[in-house]
Chains A and B, each alone.
Chain A
């Protein structure tokens, strides 16, 4: 889930079902209802979007972790009911209101509950969304990707990590068995079979 570049920075800290490609490409592709695979040497990351709340949040958290990404192309037929594509574009344009709802989003429940305002502002400054919602024509999408690459934008700066999933290090002090259930070792090292 997290990718290290040579500076040992983690990209894409939140989950989601996506494919990671070139770490320094400036384009990310969001696929709505469409069966298309972008060319891996041209894009940084691509994946499908389903929901207008958590789905959108994951995309935001993941793209702002890679400062090279400057364009987010959204393509394919809109998801019925959720209208996630439109909600993602709206987030980029308008931000959220005081109830954490994406302003003017067409989706049913477009609430952003896991990212703070700073992360959203970072998303709005770093990323330009390219609205190809409703477009399934592969040539058009590929052309758009190339146009973005042509612009040769600079990196936005440092990675922004909004969510980090860290492995749990747990020490359970309730279990007083040293080494193994079959033996008892006293504090000086004498080993005996454990009864029971």
Chain B
């Protein structure tokens, strides 16, 4: 329900638009795959088809987020991407191990996929080798995760973005410029309950006003780690799916909603929230939504 004084950037990757003033573009939704065990390509294909069809229906862009745990999965996952996503469609790769990140960048470069790649992510643990690799094999877009282990408040997140918070030589924003990534999204780092999880939402308007960059987070992580929900087994999925509404409500542009299995619920929930926000922003701020926004489709 906010409008920002600072000019807001709208970034585009392979036709998917993300960013801008709240109410303009529908929230972009990242659904994750291959979190555990061996990649199940059969099911993955079905889920991605499902996500694409829901995305067409509601208007919210859906981007598959491929979690790559081991080197031996890398080639097969990239094969899968080439064969099963629509031509030119964007995707994100989510890797923890720094050396694997480098190999992935090299491979994506070789296979000419970098122009569709969203790199998840550049964060406080970025190594010098990784920075070199990013410079040589630059992805089209990268997600900067504003995690500050010393200060989990919104202030800490701004610190790590602007100046590295005494943990890195530069802020994450400068690092992304240094390695040549032209399009960056900011993830406000939602981690776990008890770790100032509210700050990941409250930081969204702060980051957008400070930098004008598309901002969002993976609030699903906090739900995932809320072990007390085990006492409410039937409610867990509802809490997980609906936790994402906090993001568009606070002016955010994208949500990393966790398992792609939740797609059937997440898309309508977020479309509904986007409509709510758009009704307000158009009415008060005069910000009207694009033609594929859920508000144009449902009323």
Contacts and interface: CB of A to CB of B under 8 A. Distances in A.
In-complex A–B contact (CB below 8 Å): yes
Interface of A: 179-183, 185, 188-193
A185 B205 contact: yes
6 contacts: A179-B206, A180-B203, A189-B1, A190-B3, A191-B5, A192-B209
Contacts of A190: 2-3, 5, 285
B39 to A, nearest CB: 41
Interface string B264-298: 00000000000000001000110000000000000
A182 B158 contact: yes
A10 B295 CA distance: 50
Contacts of B4: 191
Given A180-B206, A182-B209, A183-B206, A193 B5 contact: yes
Contacts of A192: 5, 209
A183 B158 CA distance: 12
Contacts of B78: none
Contacts of B210: 182, 193
Contacts of B206: 179-180, 182-183
Nearest to A180: B206
Contacts, number: 46
A192 B154 CA distance: 16
B158 A189 contact: no
A5 to B, nearest CB: 16
A188 B205 CA distance: 14
A128 B154 CA distance: 56
Nearest to B153: A180
Nearest to B281: A189
B182 interface: no
User: Of B4, B155, B285, which is in contact with the most chain A CB atoms at under 10 Å from its CB?
Assistant: B4
Contacts of B208: 191
Contact of B209 (A181, A189, A193): A193
A189 B284 contact: yes
Contacts of A180: 154-155, 202-203, 205-206
B136 interface: no
B6 interface: yes
Contact of A191 (B2, B202, B203, B280): B2
Nearest to B210: A182
Contacts of A188: 284
Given A190-B2, A190-B3, A192-B5, A179 B284 contact: no
Contact of A183 (B3, B209, B280, B284): B209
Nearest to B250: A179
A180 B38 CA distance: 43
A21 to B, nearest CB: 24
B202 A179 contact: yes
Interface in B1-50: 1-6
Contacts of B251: 191
Contacts of A179: 202, 205-206
A179 B154 CA distance: 10
Nearest to B280: A189
B113 to A, nearest CB: 37
Nearest to A190: B3
A183 B206 CA distance: 6
Interface in B129-183: 154-155, 158
A181 B285 CA distance: 23
Kindly list the 7 A-B residue pairs having the minimum CB-CB distance in the complex, ordered from nearest: A192-B5, A189-B1, A180-B206, A189-B2, A191-B4, A191-B209, A191-B2
Contacts of B6: 193
Interface string B245-262: 000000100000000000
B69 to A, nearest CB: 36
Nearest to B208: A191
Nearest to A179: B202
A183 B1 CA distance: 15
B8 to A, nearest CB: 11
Contacts of B2: 185, 189-191
